[in-house]
Every structure is written in structure tokens, then in C-alpha cells.
Amino acid sequence: MKIMAFNGSPRKKWNTATLLSKALEGAASCGAETELIHLYDLDYKGCISCFACKTIGGKSYGRCAVKDDLTAVFGKIEQADAIILGSPIYFGTVSGEMKSFMERLLFPYSTYTDPPQSLFPGKIKTGFIYTMGLTEKMMQEFGYIQYFNRLEMILKRIYGDSKYMCSFDTYQFDDYSKVVSTRFDPVKKAKRREEIFPIDCKKAFEMGAKFSGGK
């Protein structure tokens, strides 16, 4: 079994990357082969709207025709049993790198039929891990749930079963005194990092374990 994770954060050792690593640890604990890819290391852009993936009889029908660092990645995804995406939330949406990746990941396999169908070869599990500086209450007030549910619906339609989890009120800096961030209480942030983030890590571990057949 192969499980891949994609880090949509520019940081390789912070909240999002840590949770993705924990998810892969959970998968590996159940015998899965794992791989973590940092999207900010790759050279690619979002969908260029060429519609080669939709052209009748075209050699790229159902596949992205653009050749760049994502070409080999998509080939790996088609051989995987599960993928887990992770991104911080910036201004109410995923990071720019994750957004561009998702355009390329989702559009070629989605048909312009009524109802829309999937051209992905088979069914795999998908997961999403969101990290954010907002509290859960603020997230709900800002309507993020609708955004998360919409992405989950699209992932389910194209790939199969999909789950997501959120890590709220995350610790953003090593030293809050060096950053203009008076809206945050660094003591409370540190306390939450110590007490709550380990719980989020456990949830991520359990997600990975379940994706690889564990309980």
C-alpha cells in the first residue's frame, strides 16, 4: 500500500508539515509505504485552461497535458492507495501553491457531463489537513466550513472517500516578541501549542493509520 502526502505550506517543519508527517507515521505503522512531497520545492503553475484534457479523441483526454514537475507526481498518484493534502489557510483559502496543485489535480479527471463524472482510474482515499491561526469559533463565523465541505465533495466525486481535519489557533512564530502581532496572546498561544497541538498530531496519526487499513 502506498500513501502520499502533499505539503502546501512554504514551511517544511512547522504545523502543516508536522501534521502530515504524523499522518504518514500512522500509515507506516500499519505497513504502508509513504512519501511526503513539499509543493514549494516543485516548479509548476495552475491550470492553463488549454482543455486538452477535455478534447474528444485527444491524446491527453482525462490527463493534464502540461509537462512540468507535476507530470511525474500525477503518475505516482494514479498508483497510490491514498493521498493526504495539507495546507495553511491564508485569507480564507488554501495556499497559492496548493490551489494551483489542486486545479491540476482535479480538473483533468472531472468531466463536463451532467452529472459530472470521474475519469480517475480507480478509487482512492483522500484526506485534507487544514491549519490556521483562527479559533474554531472564528472559523465557523467566517464560513470556512462551507469551503471545506465543498472541497470534500469534489474530492469524493473524483477519487472516492474523503475526510478532513482542522488544527486551530496554531502557534505561528518561534518568538512572538520579534513580530508585530499584538492581536495574539503569546502565552495563550504557547499553552495551546503545548496542550492541544499534540492532540491534533494524534488525530493526524489516526487518519493515516485508517487510510492504510488500521482501526
- Half-sphere exposure of residue 78: CA atoms within 13 angstroms, side-chain side: 15
- CA–centroid distance for 167 within its chain: 13
Q: Quick one: which of 206, 44, 19 has its CA closest to 7?
A: 19
Contacts of residue 167, Cβ cutoff 8 Å, sequence gap at least 6: 15, 19, 129, 130, 131, 132, 197, 200
Residue-level pLDDT at 61: 94
Average pLDDT of the residues in 54-67: 91
What is the pTM for the complete model shown? 0.92
The structural domains of the chain, ordered by start, are: 2-211 (3.40.50.360)
Return the C-alpha cell found at 167: 488544527
Angle between helices 15-29 and 197-211 (to 10 degrees): 40
Evaluate whether 5 touches 185 at the Cβ level (below 8 Å): no
pLDDT in tens, 104-124: 999 999 999 989 899 999 899
What value does the mean pLDDT of the chain take? 92
pLDDT above 70: percentage of residues in the chain: 99
- CA–centroid distance for 196 within its chain: 21
Q: How many CB atoms lie within 10 A of CB 199?
A: 10
Q: Of 57-61, 87-91, 190-194, which one has max mean pLDDT?
A: 87-91
Confidence band for 215, pLDDT divided at 50, 70 and 90:
low
